[in-house]
Amino acid sequence: MALSILILTFSAGLAAILGFAAHRANICTVKAVLEMLTTRHAYMLLSFGKTVLWVILITLILSWTIPSVAIVHWKLSYLSIAGGFLFGIGATVNGGCAFAMLAKLANGRLAQIIALGGFGVGATGFLLVAPKA
């Protein structure tokens, strides 16, 4: 019970940090691509590259120091490519990715609730068509 409360508290803290970062940093691949097309610079896209390197580094450190932690990943398939394509279309229509949508919703732009509903429909659709392990 105490461990569950600790995990919940830690997760809530990380969610708050992520929300603050998303609100302040404009972390959105749609904006990164738009920056490349309009300014011919890739500063935002390079930030994503740095983030990926940090995630790889922290994952490696965790997997070396805590061998019981299993690293789970999704296999590349036609279903995942189609899902990524649909996600990209939705992000383009929405004017931002999932983080941007949540940040806009947190700023009071309630029309983003439709995109949040679409995200839920997409996740449910994936659960219905994804092969069972």
Q: 0.75 cut: is pTM over it?
A: no
Q: Which pLDDT tens digit goes with each residue over 30-84?
A: 778 888 889 999 888 888 888 889 888 988 888 888 877 667 776 788 888 888 8
pLDDT digits (tens, 9 = 90+) for 7-34: 888 888 888 887 777 667 666 777 788 8
Q: At what angle do helices 98-106 and 112-129 cross, to 10 degrees?
A: 140
Residue 99 reports pLDDT greater than 80:
no
The total of structural domains in the chain comes to 1
At residue 10, the pLDDT reads 87
Q: How confident is the model at residue 133 (pLDDT cuts 50, 70, 90)?
A: low
Q: What is the pLDDT of residues 51-60, one digit of tens each?
A: 889 888 988 8
Q: What is the pLDDT of residue 39?
A: 93
- The domain of 57 spans 2-129
